[in-house]
Amino acid sequence: MENGASSYRRFLEGDENGIVEIVRDYKDGLMLYLNGYVRNIHTAEDLTEDTFIRLVAKRPRYSDRYAFKTWLYAIGRNLAIDYLRRQKRRSEQPLDGMEEILADEVSVEKQYLREERKILLFRLMDRLHEEYRQVLYLYYFENLRHEEIGRLLHKNRRQVENLLYRAKQALKRETEKEGFRHEDL
Neighbours of 33 (CB within 10 A): 26
Q: Same domain, yes or no, for 51 and 76?
A: yes
**Total structural domains in the chain?**
2
Largest CA distance in the chain: 54
Single residue among 92, 112, 132 that ends a domain in this structure: 112
Q: Same domain, yes or no, for 101 and 180?
A: no
Q: Which domain holds residue 91?
A: 1-112
For the residues 51-67, what does the mean pLDDT come to?
91
pLDDT band at 178 (very low <50, low <70, confident <90, very high): confident
The helix, strand and coil proportions of the chain, stated in percent and rounded to the nearest 5, come to 75, 0, 25
Residues of the chain with pLDDT > 70: what percent? 80
User: Which is more confident, 131 or 111?
Assistant: 131
pLDDT at 91 over 70: no
Q: Same domain, yes or no, for 123 and 47?
A: no
Q: Same domain, yes or no, for 78 and 165?
A: no
Evaluated on CA atoms 153, 155, 160, 163, the torsion sign reads negative
* Nearest to 31, CA basis, from 117, 134, 108, 88: 108
- Rounded to 5 degrees, φ, ψ at 62 are -100, 135
Q: Same domain, yes or no, for 140 and 91?
A: no
Q: What is the pLDDT of residues 21-58, one digit of tens each?
A: 999 999 999 999 999 889 899 999 999 999 999 999 99
Q: Same domain, yes or no, for 82 and 134?
A: no
Rounded Cα distance, 159 and 184, in Å: 27
pLDDT band at 113 (very low <50, low <70, confident <90, very high): very low
Q: Same domain, yes or no, for 77 and 20?
A: yes
Single residue among 93, 112, 131 that ends a domain in this structure: 112
